[in-house]
């Protein structure tokens, strides 16, 4: 039993959903209790997907436990096929359904559905989201890739891109960037999977000469299987950062036997980093935490390409613990391998970094600690799916990374300078982690009680319209209004009172004004 | 108020269709998101799986709290295989938690689907832990599991669990009023003031602090501020309290009917009642008149979600002239909804239960002007050209009472206004 406040990874069936939702023509029948449908909103809200995830949940309830949940599953699987006519179906159980041991795989088999049905064993009580995604992609590759086949010698070799999923951190744009890079190198893309692939596309996986593993967390087991079953080598370098992209190019050329003649795209990062303006970046203390792939990439960029000091390095991906520990040694620090959010918060506070590179969790930690932060890894948030093209991989990815790491630093400096104004409570509330509202701090509210009794009559005469005074109750009521509209509510109420010549503002006046100005 | 709709006797109302199929709703754990804000010294410990933790994290949206007053004790393979004694593990988790958070005065052990399927007895666990940690922290349990509880039923289970521990009001006490159901503090304060002006000292369940929960006894009369509190109603009645039946305080009319039911019970003279409600009622009517211009004649479709659907449809039909065409509620408690059903336009298609695919088909065929649905459905329906309103916002926004009536209507105006602005 582990006490958890916030989690870096969801349960394994969420990983399976990320695979299914990234694909087309695949349907996932998930044996799960009522309520597990919350997962739909991750995709429709965070990633702004315009379609529901291709998932049918059995949504069984307690009354079904007394009767036959297996029948509920079979009905749901049958109905899902009838309605969606998928080209293939994956079936699995969420944590609760795993406990009732209905065996969705076996049940689905008895239905004799007219499409391939691939069962998943998701181990909800020992595994997590990325493992679930990797397992699902592996099962799909194994179930659909077919027999090993002869591959003709090609002038332009073919590669599969493996690993991008729905809800992945910038996967959408990494696919485009790496496809462009491979094309420039003289390689064509055979299948990109799971993102954008159909089950039929997966039957063509074996046509490729080699596999590009974009995200080892998701793609490694599938790539290892394809190496064994189809004799396809796979790339080991993840092309995030200038150095890694160059290494990746060298690796692809070696695997595919390509000459070093092709003209390749370039990046601004090397010159931006060498230009004198970037001098101030030297030795900035940076704390890095996220999934294994992005953390290892960020460490190298920070060290070799921007010139930061890495004062903290860690990952929630235990499978990458060894590699992350090795890298931490370069900085004489101990790697933080944990999925306990409070441990990460404490480590960040103790390390006193000037910049945090992390996930959405670290962004929240940074807000509280008032540190600048850039997001480099899942778990993601709606803002990690920008409208613009913003890859992490390849040469354009390096440009995006330079900008997104450096901009919060400058904002951070501004925030530091503005810190001196923080005594004012309302101003404090307006402070965000990236900056501070440009609105001037409002003057304290004059209350009827505080009004000087012996106000000089001349002064009162000078400011001709008498300023209405707030009663204590009205002041208290005003404070109940959310701070982001409180200023407006206060202004409108005072205007309303002045226009009517009221001398005091009561709770009633506040709501009268609210009703008057309401939309 | 729409005069054209005649009031029929309670128990009257549209025919109810029953649907059974895939349910696209949150489970009862979701209520923790607003309940932990309401009871400010309570902590909610879910005994569940990684899915439970992930759900609450996703439903809460942003992780704005450094250390939120809720957490999940995640069961793992060791607990299931019996390598660890679940109760020993739970005792140690709770011990560490209360040591770290001495400010916590009330700890809820919240049951989940996995804890119920493997039959972890949280009632017994709560008794044992209570014996150990009371009076510093009281420990009680309830179930928020999806196999038992649909969305707002989680709040019902939580409040029902509080009832046996409420202080006893002596049989000789003067009649007292208890308002039941979590309300935003601003709404609660407004209601308290209104009741006070009528000479009634209203108390609220849940209270904002664990040690100020209201007393209950045979002279307690309670009125529900939320329509989904069937189990809490039974628990209060078991302690001798009697329910004041009323429509729910949504909109000007709903608020008046609700206040009036309480006022009549306490024999408030009608001139006192009228005087107390007049300013608020006038404000509400003014703001609603403006909204009616924008909403009148628009059709609306409700997916089943919070059990607020029927009172909302009643409000929108009678006070701003909307046309509810299809109203689904996960459960229909006829006795708690009698006053509402009598006011609902008879032509509404009313459904209890859920079959999300069938409902989507009906929604697409009807093409309503506004569809009220969960977050999983909103963007897909918008992409099909339908205008949607997120159901969950109706629980996170103060919507009850006179001074929120305009805000409530505005929640429905906004998506229409947005759609009419955009030219892209």
Query: According to the model, what pLDDT value does residue A455 have?
Result: 39
A41 to B374: CB separation less than 8 angstroms, yes or no: yes
Cβ count near A426 (within 10 Å): 17
- Angle, helices A216-230 vs A129-144, to 10°: value is 20
Indicate the number of domains in chain A.
Answer: 4
Distance CA A287, CA B141 (A): 40
Query: According to the model, what pLDDT value does residue A74 have?
Result: 95
Cβ count near A319 (within 10 Å): 15
Q: In the beta sheet, which residues pair with residue A313? A: A288
A10 to B89: CB separation less than 8 angstroms, yes or no: no
Tell me, yes or no, whether A119 and A22 share the same domain: yes
Q: Which residues of A touch B53 (CB under 8 A)?
A: 4, 6-7
Tell me, yes or no, whether A189 and A227 share the same domain: yes
Query: According to the model, what pLDDT value does residue B82 have?
Result: 81
Quote the DSSP letter at residue B175: P
Q: Does the active-site annotation cover A277? A: yes
Distance CA B244, CA B256 (A): 14
Quote the DSSP letter at residue B41: T
Tell me, yes or no, whether A349 and A239 share the same domain: no
Tell me, yes or no, whether A252 and A304 share the same domain: no
What count of Cα atoms within 13 Å lies in the side-chain half-sphere of residue A357?
33
A34 to B79: CB separation less than 8 angstroms, yes or no: no
Query: According to the model, what pLDDT value does residue A462 have?
Result: 41
Query: According to the model, what pLDDT value does residue B118 have?
Result: 92
B241 CA to chain A: closest CA distance, Å?
30
Structure tokens, B185: 């503090």
**How many Cβ pairs within 8 Å bridge chains A and B?**
212
Tell me, yes or no, whether A278 and A251 share the same domain: no
A44 to B379: CB separation less than 8 angstroms, yes or no: yes
Q: Which residues contact A329 (CB under 8 A, 6 or more apart)?
A: none
**Contact status, residue A19 vs residue B58, Cβ threshold 8 Å:** no
Structure tokens, B227: 């329509």
| Cα dihedral value A187, A188, A192, A198, nearest 10 | -160
In a domain, A69, yes or no: yes
pLDDT tens per residue across span A70-107: 999 999 999 999 999 999 999 999 999 999 999 999 99
Percent of chain A with pLDDT over 90: 76
In a domain, A59, yes or no: yes
Tell me, yes or no, whether A231 and A274 share the same domain: no
Per-residue pLDDT for A38 more than 50?
Answer: yes
CATH of the domain at A308: 3.40.50.1980
B376 to A7: CB separation less than 8 angstroms, yes or no: no
Q: Which residues of A touch B290 (CB under 8 A)?
A: 518-519
In a domain, A136, yes or no: no
Query: According to the model, what pLDDT value does residue A519 have?
Result: 57
**Contact status, residue A144 vs residue A203, Cβ threshold 8 Å:** yes
pLDDT interval class at B200 (50, 70, 90): very high
What count of Cα atoms within 13 Å lies in the side-chain half-sphere of residue A255?
26
Tell which residue, B102, B99, B43, B103, has the closest CA to residue B73.
Answer: B43
| Site from A28, A30, A34, A509 to mutate, B interface, most B CB atoms within 10 angstroms | A34
Per-residue pLDDT for A318 more than 60?
Answer: yes
Per-residue pLDDT for A514 more than 90?
Answer: no
| Residue B52 assigned to a binding site | yes
Distance CA B158, CA B154 (A): 6
Tell which residue, B115, B108, B107, has the closest CA to residue B87.
Answer: B115
User: Rounded mean pLDDT of A252-263?
Assistant: 92
Tell me, yes or no, whether A227 and A353 share the same domain: no
Q: Which residues of B touch A76 (CB under 8 A)?
A: 22
Nearest CA in chain A to B290: A519
Complete domains list, chain B, with CATH: 28-149 (3.40.50.1980), 176-272 (3.40.50.1980), 280-422 (3.40.50.1980)
Per-residue pLDDT for A423 more than 80?
Answer: no
User: Rounded mean pLDDT of A104-119?
Assistant: 95
Per-residue pLDDT for A245 more than 60?
Answer: yes
Least CB–CB distance from B93: residue in A3, A42, A128: A3
Distance CA A183, CA A89 (A): 33
What is chain A's mean pLDDT, rounded? 89
Query: According to the model, what pLDDT value does residue A262 have?
Result: 81
B71 to A4: CB separation less than 8 angstroms, yes or no: yes
Q: Report the relative pairing of strands B138-143 and B106-111 from DSSP bridges.
A: parallel
Tell me, yes or no, whether A278 and A400 share the same domain: yes
Tell which residue, A356, A375, A381, has the closest CA to residue A366.
Answer: A356
**B 99-118 residues with CB < 8 A to A:** 113-114, 116-118
Distance CA B160, CA A308 (A): 56
**Contact status, residue B243 vs residue B237, Cβ threshold 8 Å:** yes
Query: According to the model, what pLDDT value does residue B64 have?
Result: 56
User: Rounded mean pLDDT of A188-211?
Assistant: 98
Query: According to the model, what pLDDT value does residue B117 have?
Result: 92
pLDDT tens per residue across span B283-314: 999 999 999 999 999 999 999 999 999 999 99
Query: According to the model, what pLDDT value does residue A51 have?
Result: 95
Q: In the beta sheet, which residues pair with residue B20? A: B354
- Which of these is catalytic: A277, A343, A350, A424? A277
Distance CA B345, CA B4 (A): 10
Domain boundary among A256, A284, A299: A256
Query: According to the model, what pLDDT value does residue A280 have?
Result: 85
B403 to A515: CB separation less than 8 angstroms, yes or no: yes
Domain boundary among A388, A407, A426: A407
Count of H-run helices and E-run strands, chain A:
22, 15
In a domain, A3, yes or no: no
Cβ count near B212 (within 10 Å): 11
Tell me, yes or no, whether A171 and A120 share the same domain: no
B263 CA to chain A: closest CA distance, Å?
21
In a domain, A487, yes or no: yes
Tell which residue, A220, A222, A221, A231, has the closest CA to residue A255.
Answer: A231
Q: Which domain holds residue A110?
A: 12-129
Q: Report the relative pairing of strands A336-337 and B106-111 from DSSP bridges.
A: unpaired
Distance CA A339, CA A302 (A): 23
Q: In the beta sheet, which residues pair with residue B204? A: B179
Domain boundary among A355, A373, A407: A407
Handedness of CA A303, A308, A310, A313 (dihedral sign): negative
In a domain, A445, yes or no: no
Q: Report the relative pairing of strands A2-4 and B70-74 from DSSP bridges.
A: antiparallel
- B80 touching A, CB under 8 A? yes
Q: Which residues of B touch A96 (CB under 8 A)?
A: 49, 51, 113-114, 117, 146-147
Nearest CA in chain A to B84: A1
In a domain, A434, yes or no: no
Distance CA A397, CA A221 (A): 26
pLDDT tens per residue across span A209-227: 999 999 999 999 999 999 9
| Residue B363 assigned to a binding site | no
Name the phi and psi angles at A447, rounded to 5.
-105, 155
Tell me, yes or no, whether A195 and A295 share the same domain: no
Least CB–CB distance from B376: residue in A41, A48, A60: A41
Q: Which residues contact A167 (CB under 8 A, 6 or more apart)?
A: A18, A21, A42, A43, A46, A47, A378, A380
In a domain, A6, yes or no: no
User: Rounded mean pLDDT of A328-338?
Assistant: 97
pLDDT interval class at A410 (50, 70, 90): low
Interface confidence, given as ipTM, is: 0.92
Tell me, yes or no, whether A33 and A111 share the same domain: yes
pLDDT tens per residue across span B333-362: 999 999 999 999 999 999 999 899 999 999
pLDDT interval class at A491 (50, 70, 90): confident
Tell me, yes or no, whether A179 and A84 share the same domain: no
CATH of the domain at A483: 1.10.8.550
3-state secondary structure of A55: strand
Count of H-run helices and E-run strands, chain B:
17, 14
**Contact status, residue B309 vs residue B337, Cβ threshold 8 Å:** no
pLDDT interval class at B81 (50, 70, 90): confident
User: Rounded mean pLDDT of A437-441?
Assistant: 40
């Amino acid at each position: 039993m582990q006490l958890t406040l916030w989690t870096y990874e969801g349960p394994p069936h969420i990983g399976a959903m990320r695979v299914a939702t990234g694909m087309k023509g695949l349907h996932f029948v998930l044996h799960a209790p009522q309520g597990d449908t919350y997962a739909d909103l991750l995709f429709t809200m965070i990633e702004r997907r315009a379609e529901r995830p291709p998932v049918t949940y059995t949504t069984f309830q307690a009354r079904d436990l007394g009767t036959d949940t297996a029948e509920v599953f079979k009905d749901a699987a049958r109905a899902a096929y009838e309605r969606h006519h998928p080209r293939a179906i994956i079936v699995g159980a969420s944590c609760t359904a795993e406990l009732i041991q209905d065996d969705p795989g076996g049940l689905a088999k008895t239905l004799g559905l007219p499409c391939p049905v691939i069962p998943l064993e998701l181990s909800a009580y020992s595994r997590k989201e990325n493992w679930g995604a990797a397992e699902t992609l592996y099962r799909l590759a194994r179930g659909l890739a077919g027999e090993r086949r002869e591959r003709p010698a090609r002038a332009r070799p073919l590669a599969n891109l493996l690993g991008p999923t729905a809800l992945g951190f910038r996967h959408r744009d990494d696919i485009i960037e790496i496809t462009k890079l491979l094309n420039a190198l003289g390689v064509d893309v055979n299948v990109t999977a799971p993102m954008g692939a159909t089950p039929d596309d997966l039957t063509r996986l074996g046509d490729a000469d080699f596999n590009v593993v974009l995200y080892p967390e998701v793609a490694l087991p599938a790539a290892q299987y394809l190496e064994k079953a189809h004799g396809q080598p796979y790339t080991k370098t993840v092309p995030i950062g200038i150095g890694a992209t160059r290494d990746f190019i060298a690796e692809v050329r070696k695997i595919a036997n390509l000459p070093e003649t092709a003209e390749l795209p370039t990046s601004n990062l090397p010159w931006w980093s060498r230009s004198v303006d970037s001098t101030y970046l030297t030795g900035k203390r940076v704390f890095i935490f996220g999934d294994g792939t992005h953390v290892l990439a960020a460490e190298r960029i920070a060290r070799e390409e921007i010139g930061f000091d890495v004062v903290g390095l860690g990952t929630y991906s235990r499978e990458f613990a060894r590699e992350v520990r090795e890298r931490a040694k370069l900085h004489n620090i101990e790697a933080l391998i944990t999925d306990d959010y409070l441990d990460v918060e404490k480590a960040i506070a103790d390390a006193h970094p000037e910049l945090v590179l992390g996930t959405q969790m670290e962004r929240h930690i940074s807000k509280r600690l008032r540190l600048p932060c850039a997001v480099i890894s899942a778990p993601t948030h709606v803002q990690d799916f920008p409208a613009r093209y913003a890859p992490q991989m390849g040469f354009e990815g390096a440009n995006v990374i330079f900008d997104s790491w450096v901009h919060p630093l400058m904002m951070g400096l501004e925030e530091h300078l503005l810190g001196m104004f923080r005594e004012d409570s309302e101003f404090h509330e307006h402070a965000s982690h990236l900056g501070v509202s440009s609105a001037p701090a409002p003057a304290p509210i004059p209350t009827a009680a505080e009004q000087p009794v012996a106000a000089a009559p001349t002064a009162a005469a000078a400011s001709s319209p008498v300023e209405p005074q707030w009663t204590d109750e009205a002041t208290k009521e005003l404070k109940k209004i959310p701070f982001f509209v409180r200023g407006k509510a206060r202004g409108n109420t005072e205007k309303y009172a002045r226009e009517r010549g009221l001398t005091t503002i009561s709770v009633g006046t506040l709501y009268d004004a609210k009703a008057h100005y309401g939309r | 108020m729409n005069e054209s709709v005649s009031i029929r006797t309670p128990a009257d109302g549209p025919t109810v269709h029953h649907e059974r199929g895939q349910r696209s709703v949150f489970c009862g754990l979701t209520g923790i998101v607003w309940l932990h804000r309401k009871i400010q010294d309570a902590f909610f410990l879910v005994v569940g799986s990684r899915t439970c933790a992930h759900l609450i994290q996703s439903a809460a949206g942003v992780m704005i709290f450094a250390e939120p007053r809720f957490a999940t004790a995640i069961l793992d393979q060791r607990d299931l295989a019996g390598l660890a004694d679940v109760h020993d593990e739970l005792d140690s988790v709770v011990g560490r938690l209360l040591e770290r958070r001495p400010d916590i005065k009330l700890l809820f052990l919240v049951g989940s689907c996995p804890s119920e399927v493997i039959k972890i007895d949280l009632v017994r666990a709560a008794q044992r832990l209570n014996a150990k940690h009371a009076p510093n922290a009281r420990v009680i349990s309830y179930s928020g599991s999806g196999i038992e509880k649909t969305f707002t039923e989680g709040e019902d289970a939580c409040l029902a669990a509080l009832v046996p521990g409420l202080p006893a009001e002596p049989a000789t006490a003067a009649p007292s009023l208890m308002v039941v159901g979590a309300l935003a503090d601003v709404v609660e304060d407004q209601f308290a003031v209104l009741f006070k002006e009528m000479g009634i000292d209203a108390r609220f369940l849940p209270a904002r602090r664990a040690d100020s929960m209201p007393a209950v006894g045979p002279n307690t009369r309670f009125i529900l501020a939320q329509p989904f509190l069937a189990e809490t109603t039974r628990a209060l009645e078991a302690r001798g309290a009697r329910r004041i039946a009323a429509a729910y305080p949504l909109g000007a009319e709903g608020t008046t009917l609700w206040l009036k039911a309480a006022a009549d019970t306490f024999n408030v003279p009608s001139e006192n009642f009228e005087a107390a409600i007049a300013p608020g009622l006038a404000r509400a009517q003014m703001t609603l008149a403006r909204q009616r211009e924008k909403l009148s004649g628009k059709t609306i479709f409700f997916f089943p979600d919070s059990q607020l659907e029927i009172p909302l449809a009643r409000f929108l039909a009678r006070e701003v002239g909307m046309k509810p065409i299809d109203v689904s509620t996960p459960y229909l408690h006829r006795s708690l909804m009698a006053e509402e059903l009598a006011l609902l336009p008879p032509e509404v298609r009313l459904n209890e239960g859920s079959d999300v695919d069938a409902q989507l088909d009906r929604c697409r065929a009807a093409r309503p002007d506004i569809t009220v649905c969960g977050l999983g459905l909103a963007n897909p329906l918008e992409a099909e050209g339908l205008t949607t309103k997120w159901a969950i916002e109706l629980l996170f926004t103060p919507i009850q009472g006179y001074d929120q009536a305009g805000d409530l209507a505005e929640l429905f105006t906004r998506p229409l206004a947005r759609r009419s602005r955009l030219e892209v």
